[in-house]
Amino acid sequence: MKNIVNTLLLLVVFSVESFAQEKGSVFIQNATLITITDGIIQNGDVLIIDGVITGIGTDLNVPLGVKVVNASGKYVMPGIIDAHSHLNTVSTNEARNPVTAEVTMEESINPNSVSIYRAIAGGVTSIHLMHGSANVIGGQGETLKLRYGVSQDEMRFVDAKRTIKFALGENPTRVHGQGNGIQPRTRMGVEQIIRSHFDEALDYRARREAYLETKKVYEGNRRGRRVPPVPVAKNLRYDVLNDIIDGEILVHCHSYRADEILMLMRVFNDYGIKNYTFQHANEAFKVAPEIAKNGAYTSVFADWWAYKFEVYYSTAYNATILNENGVTNSINSDSNELIRHLNHEAAKTVRYGKTSEADALKMITINPAMQLGIDKMVGSLEIGKHGDIAIWNGHPLSIYSKVQQTYIDGKKYFDLFTDPADMRIAVDSDDFYREWGFNTFIQGREEDACMSDVFELIQQ
């Protein structure tokens, strides 16, 4: 009986989870197919049925009732995946404590931001919406599909792995140490914050399990003669930290310097944590062999450097060095501007170090998919994978190429020729049209986008 109830409960949960997502079917014909994992197919066709790729090849039969897109002379590539984005957050940093594992970007999604549309127009179909880098252990991330126009819940990439943001170096030491006079003020402190919280989490788990066990015994003993346990409250923060230790959550760690990258690998080895990604990692190239040995991933900027001290001794050849040393690397944006042309950011790995074009494209498709635990579903043109693709009018690594259409789950979300200019969803009834005023000349940057909201706060 109990099992039946459980099954029913599961069914209910399942039906809530698999909310009605709009999926489409489309047949794209005669294009140059960049499959990513299986080379390039000339004059190729892609068939997407109900959101899933069901056919790839040449001279496929045109199925009845499916919309046909003639893409001769065009390139078809899987949708770009950005492993580091704050594209449409409500807020990015819960910056008031060095550890905030309990917060989640799942509860900080703004589905109405026009930035989403602008990213799709650059051929991006999925992003990793991340917490900022103010905290040593920040909030959990949420992988999104950029289905522009749906609810926040429907934007979620169902079945993506859970993720969490860590951050080392200048940002957490500046916010908490320099800003509030609490640990960590140094990279020494950063390490100890991580270790002590993992230890506390393990202790909590032991206490909580002991309590639950005693409670069971106590409540089973109807006479109530035994002494009941002192309740140990469920602790959201420690639960998440334990999930990290248990391998249920992938760590994406904002880091720059080589020494701090090594530090985290030592700590993670001590706690048995695997499958993590170093984000930004401007000095990862200096310890590429160690990263490769630990099976860790990297996700880097194509060329950002020198805007702050911990990226001063870095190089635009970072991605190439990592790639050549066998590290699975992705190129990310961390920027609502760069995300508009990640294809071009990937192309820079060819300029800086002559990475092959094929590998350059992997860095914005299958590699970030691996880092987010969605590589079985997206990141390449393969039968059975999701119909998340973009049609380009030229080779995606050329600066002259433009995205013409972007599909997610086989449904078209961007069309260069038919979309109107104003694609806002949420319009403020209090908005004004003419009263704009600003000027820019030299902009530069002082910070990664990870921290923009913290600085706004500080400046208030």
Partner 1 sequence: MKSKKWKVVLALLLIGSLTVQAQITDKPNFGKIAIVDATIHTVTEGTIQNGVIRLDGEKIEYVGTDRSNISDEYYIIQASGKHVYPGFMDSGTSLGLVEVSAVAVTVDNREIGNMNSNMLAFTAFNPNSVSIPVTRVSGVTHVITAPQGGLVSGQAALMDLWGYSPDSMAIDVTAGMVLNWPSIRSRGRGARNLEQAEKRYKETIKNLNKWLDNARFYQQMMSEYEADASGKVKPEKNQQLQSMRELVEGKTPLIIAVSSEKDILNAIEWASHEDNISLNIVFAGVEEGWRVAEQIAKAGIPCLVSTLYTPIRPYDHIHRPYENPSVLMKAGVKVAIMTGEVENVRNLPFNAGYAAAYGMGTVEAIKAVTINPAEIFGVSNLLGSLEEGKQANLFISSGDPFEPLSQIEHVFIKGYQIPMDSRHTQLFEEFLDRDATQE
Partner 2 sequence: MKINKTFIGIVSFITMLIAWIQMPLLAQEVPAHAITNVMVHMADGSVIENTDIVWRNGIIEQVGVNEFIPFDAFVIDGGDSLHVYPGLIDGMATWGSPDIPRDLPRLENPGKPPYDRAGAQPDRIPAHYLNEDKAFEDAMRAGFTLVSLGLDGQMLPGHIQPFNLSAPKLTQAHAFSDPLALQGSFDTAPGGWGSGAYPSTQMGVMAYFRQLMYDASALQEHMMYFEMHSDMTQPEQNDVLEALFPLVNKEYPLFFEVDSKEEIERLFRLQDEFGFEVVLVSAKEASALSEELKTRNIAVLASLDFTEMPDWLEEEIKETEANDQEINVSNDDDANNKDVEKTAPTEEELVFRSKQKQAWEEEINNVASLVKAGIPTGFTSDGMSPKEIQKKINLVTEHTSLTKSDLIELMTVQNANILGISNRVGTIKEGNSAHLILTDGPLFEKGTKIHIQVSQGVINDFMEN
What is the DSSP-derived secondary structure letter of residue 182?
A: -
Residue 101 contacts residue 139 (beta carbons within 8 Å): yes
Taking the complex as a whole, the smallest distance from the CB of residue 459 to partner 2 amounts, in Å, to 8
Nearer to partner 1, 44 or 123 (CB): 123
Number of neighbouring beta carbons within 10 Å of residue 157: 25
Can you tell me which of 420, 437, 440, 446 binds partner 2, judged by CB under 8 A? 420
**For the chain, what's the residue count?**
460
Cβ-contact 168, 136 below 8 angstroms: yes
Q: Are 194 and 136 in contact (CB under 8 A)?
A: yes
User: x/- binding map, residues 112-141, to partner 1, per CB under 8 A?
Assistant: --xx-xx--x--------------------
**Would you give the binding string for partner 2 spanning residues 75-94, x where CB under 8 A is met?**
---------------xx-xx
Cβ neighbours for 405, distance < 8 A, ≥ 6 positions apart: 69, 390, 391, 412, 414, 415, 416
| Contacted by 444, from partner 1, partner 2, none: CB < 5 to 8 Å by type | partner 1
User: What are the two backbone dihedrals, phi and then psi, of residue 207, each rounded to the nearest 5 degrees?
Assistant: -65, -40
Q: Which two tokens stand for residue 83?
A: 């492993």
SS3 content of the chain, % helix, strand, coil (to 5): 35, 20, 45
Confirm or reject binding of residue 449 to partner 2 (CB under 8 A).
no
Find which of partner 2, partner 1, none residue 91 binds, CB within 5 to 8 Å per kind. partner 2
Chain positions 210 to 249 lying near partner 2, rule: CB under 8 A, are 224, 227-237
What's the start-to-end Cα distance of the chain, in Å?
A: 59
* Residue 148 touches partner 1, criterion: CB under 8 A: no
Binders in 385-404 for partner 1, by CB under 8 A = 397-402
- Residue written as tokens 């334990």? 242
446-449, Cβ contacts within 8 angstroms, sequence gap of 24 or more = 446/307, 446/308, 447/307, 447/308, 448/133, 448/254, 448/280, 448/304, 448/307, 448/334, 449/86, 449/92, 449/334, 449/335, 449/336
Q: Examine residue 173 and tell whether it contacts partner 2 (CB under 8 A).
A: no
Cα four-point dihedral sign 280, 359, 118, 302: positive
User: How many of the chain's residues bind partner 2 (CB under 8 A)?
Assistant: 52
With binding defined as CB under 8 A, does residue 460 bind partner 2? yes
Q: Judged by CB under 8 A, does residue 64 bind partner 2? A: no
Smaller CB distance to partner 1: residue 14 or 432?
Answer: 432
Instruction: Kindly tell me which of 55 and 177 has the beta carbon lying closer to partner 2.
Output: 177
Residue 417 interacts with, from partner 2, partner 1, none (CB under 5-8 Å by kind)? none
The CB-of-391 to partner 1 minimum distance in angstroms stands at 16
17 binds partner 2 (CB under 8 A): no
Q: Which residues bind partner 1 (CB under 8 A)?
A: 114-115, 117-118, 121, 170, 285-286, 288-289, 303-309, 312-317, 320-321, 324-326, 336-337, 340-341, 344, 347-348, 350-354, 357, 397-402, 421-424, 430, 432, 434-447
Judged by the rule CB under 8 A, the positions of this chain that interact with partner 2 are: 90-91, 93-100, 102-105, 107-112, 139, 151-153, 180, 182, 224, 227-237, 420-422, 424, 426-431, 433, 457-458, 460
